[in-house]
Structures are given as structure tokens and as C-alpha cells.
Structure 1
């Protein structure tokens, strides 16, 4: 609770104060109007929205499918080894994972250079072109975060009663029907929880575009994401902490709104 207050609630309240003031004076929505009027704001919104959409859909589908496959493996050591291999990338720090992908995305040194060249990427600059970034960031985010979610979904699958699974088999349900009508509905709350956390994490996109921006010498813009734009407001030439706080509050409101939709539509707190 103390850590939550110190590093969560108090900074949020301070950001609220900064977002509605300027030099200690209350200015209503002036900081938000200024942010909306910045030519970099709406492109950053589009970048983050596209990334979150691709990331969320791919994460929900692939994590659930992979968890079902791992849980279906009856050889214990194979299942345990697979889960361990899935989890290894999640043990790396986000920046370390991005550095690894810098190596993989450069056709001149990458072990998958042949595959990159098949897609027409003959240099690092062409690989990290802006049109490719949502997919690249999705791959990096999946590499880092999917393993932990697969293990969580695996645990959720193991909580399903063996009597229910046996009844499905007796009724003649195959693996696909069992997954669609039994396992996935019973995993619904875990899937909703994964969606909420992933939206919150995805909307905070910062490390990946920042490292790629430095590595590509500006091919990836310094204000590609909203968090990067907030960073530029605060620590760039503007030194505008109030505008930066306004962006952070906007991110908070959007993430909280989307989370509320998933909570109430997904029945996260409903009793079974």
C-alpha cells in the first residue's frame, strides 16, 4: 500500500495538478487544448492505436491457442520444457529485448536475413520504415510478454474440473469443440484480465520506438508514440511539464475507459 501511494497515487495526483495549472495558476483545459493543437499529437495517437489493435488481437488469439496446445500435451516433461522456453524471453528486460531485435532486424548481420530479404528488406532502414513499425513492435511485445501469459492461461486451464472435461469427452466432443464450448468460456475472466493489462501496457509504448529511433538515426521519429511525445514536451526544447502531464492524464483516461468496457462486458467480477 505504501509503495502504491508513493509511486502510483501521489504521482497521479501531481500529474493532475500539473495538467490543470501553469506556473501554479489554474488554467482549466488550456494545457489539453495546447496538446490537441500540436501537429505531432494525432499522428502519435494513430500510431499507438494501430499498434494496440494489432498487438491485442494477436496476443489474445495466439496466447489462448498456444496455452490450449501446451495443456493438451500429456507428456509431462515436454509440457514443462515448452512452458519454460516460452517464458525465457519474458525474463529479459524490455530494453535488452529491443537490442536483441535490433540485431535480428538488420539484414547485414541477422541470422534471418534470407527471410527479411524475401520481404524486400535489404537494409536496417528499410526494415524499420514507419509502415512496418506496428508489426515490428507487436512482434517484440509478443516475444517479451506472451510467455508469461501462456503460463497463466495454462494454470487457468488446469482449474477446469476434470469431471466437466470427462463429460465433454463422453458426449463425443473433440478437441476443437471442447476448446470452443468448454475451455475458452471458462477462461473468459482470465482472457479479459489479460486484455486489460495488455491495453494498459500497450498504450505506454516508449522503450521500443525510442531505442529504434536512436539506432536508425531518426528514421523512427522521436515523437512516434504518445509517451515519447510526453517525454519531448517535458525534456525537449519546450520544457513543458504541464503539457506532458496533460498527455499522461489523457492516456490514463483512455486506458481506464477501455479497461472499464472489458470489465463490465467481460463479466470480470461476476460470480460463476
Structure 2
């Protein structure tokens, strides 16, 4: 609780204070929010983050649940343990390190899979990181880094389902697909909602991937691709901390509203 207050509540309150004041600590209402929204980069950044969230959340839900179900069907203990470790290892890398690995992989000149990139028609790094490819690229990086931990979580949730329930379904003639669709996935619903809430909140904070890619590509990927980058630019390039705080507060509100909708629609806190 002390850490939550010190590193969560207090900084949030500080940001809210900055968002509604100016450099002279005078209350300015929604002026900072209006300044952020009127910036020519704001709507583009909103669109970039929204498109990335669609790719990211769909990939996370579909592939994490599918891989967890497949992992749960592995009967060999050693194989299952090795797969869980393999899934989890990428998540042990820091975000910046993960992006650097992907920058290496995506450069046809040095990538160990450069022949595949060239077969797809990408001969240079600039072609690979063209703006229209960025949502998919950021999704790949985020999935590679963050999906493994969620696969392990879903696997644990699957282990918590009563074996008697699964066995009864099999006796009634249910195959693997029917067991997954009618028993396992419905019982994973709250875990999936929990994953989506946290992934949505993390996805809106997109920063490390486009920032490092911008530096590596010498501006091919802009420094204002995401809302967090725009906030960073306001604070440290334009020396406008108040507008930067307004963007941050907007991201906080979006995350809270989305979490509230997910919880309300899913019955997250309802007793089973």
C-alpha cells in the first residue's frame, strides 16, 4: 500500500494538478487539454494507438488462449515444462532490449532471417519499417515480449478446472474442440477479461517501440507516433509540462473507462 501510494497515487495527483494549471500554477481549466487536442499530431497519434490496440488485443486473446490450450494438452511433463520456460523467456528481457533484438531481426542486411525478408520483397530496413507496417511490427514485438507470461497464467487457470468436469464431457462424447469451446474457454472468461484490461492499459502507453525505432530509422518512424511520445515531446522538446500532463491524464481516463466497461459487461466480480 505504501508503494502504491508513493509511486502510483501521488504521481497521478501531481499529473492531474499540472494538467489543470499553467506554468505559473494558475488554474486554467481545460486549456491544456484543448492545446493538446488542437495539435496537428494529436489525432494522428490517437489513430496510430487505436489501430495498434486492435491488432495487439486480438492477437493476444486469440493466440494466448490457443497456445495455452495446446500447452495444457501436452502430457509429457518435461516437454510441458520446457515449453512454459520457452514462452516465458522473452518476457524476462527489458522492453528496450526486446526492441533492439527485433531491430536486428528486421534489418535484411544483418538479420538471420534476411532471406525471408528478401523473399517477401523487403530489401532494406526502410522498406520493412514503412509506416503502414508499424502496427503489425509493434504487435509482433509486444506479443513476443508479453504473451509468454499470459500463456503461463492461462495454463495455470486451465489446471484449476475440475478434471471431473472435463472427464464427464469426454464420456458424453465431446472432442477436444468441444471441450475447449464449451467448457475451458467459458471458464477462462474472467482471466481473459483481466488480461485484456491490463493489455489495453499497457497498449495505450506505447512508447519504447516507436521511440527506439524512430532513432534507429533516422526519422522514418516519427517521434510523435504515439500519444506517450507526443506527451514526451511536449514536456522535453517544447518545455510544456502542463500539456504533457494533460495528455497523460487523458490516457489515464481512457484506461479507467475501458476497464470499467470490461468489468461491467463481463461480470468480472460476480461469484461463479
Q: TM-score, normalised by structure 2?
A: 0.99
Which position in structure 2 is the counterpart of 1:152?
153
Give the superposition deviation at 1:118: 2.3
Aligned pairs for 1:5-20 (under 5 A) are 5-20=5-20
2 CA distance for matches of 1:14 and 1:80?
A: 45
Which position in structure 2 is the counterpart of 1:231?
232
2 CA distance for matches of 1:189 and 1:231?
A: 34
2 CA distance for matches of 1:60 and 1:114?
A: 30
Which position in structure 2 is the counterpart of 1:132?
133
Point out 4+ residue stretches in structure 1 off by more than 4 angstroms: none
Aligned pairs for 1:56-75 (under 5 A) are 56-75=57-76
Give the superposition deviation at 1:115: 1.4
Give the superposition deviation at 1:217: 0.5
Which position in structure 2 is the counterpart of 1:260?
260
Secondary structure in 1 matching 2:222: coil
Residue ranges of structure 1 left out of the alignment (5+ in a row): none
Q: Residue 49 in 1 paired to residue 50 in 2?
A: yes
2 CA distance for matches of 1:270 and 1:112?
A: 48
Give the superposition deviation at 1:120: 1.7
1 CA distance for matches of 2:42 and 2:85?
A: 41
Which position in structure 1 is the counterpart of 2:4?
4
1 CA distance for matches of 2:122 and 2:244?
A: 36
Aligned pairs for 1:1-272 (under 5 A) are 1-22=1-22, 23-236=24-237, 238-272=238-272
2 CA distance for matches of 1:117 and 1:59?
A: 28
Give the superposition deviation at 1:255: 1.0
Give the superposition deviation at 1:119: 2.2
Give the superposition deviation at 1:161: 0.3
2 CA distance for matches of 1:112 and 1:161?
A: 43
Q: TM-score, normalised by structure 1?
A: 0.99
Secondary structure in 2 matching 1:11: helix
2 CA distance for matches of 1:268 and 1:104?
A: 39
Aligned length: 271
1 CA distance for matches of 2:142 and 2:231?
A: 21
1 CA distance for matches of 2:65 and 2:262?
A: 17
- 1:172-209 per-residue CA deviation (whole Å, 9 max, x = no partner) reads 00000000000000010000000000001110000000
2 CA distance for matches of 1:110 and 1:37?
A: 41
2 CA distance for matches of 1:15 and 1:127?
A: 37
Please report the RMSD computed on the Cα atoms of aligned residues, expressed in angstroms. Answer: 0.6
1 CA distance for matches of 2:15 and 2:145?
A: 29
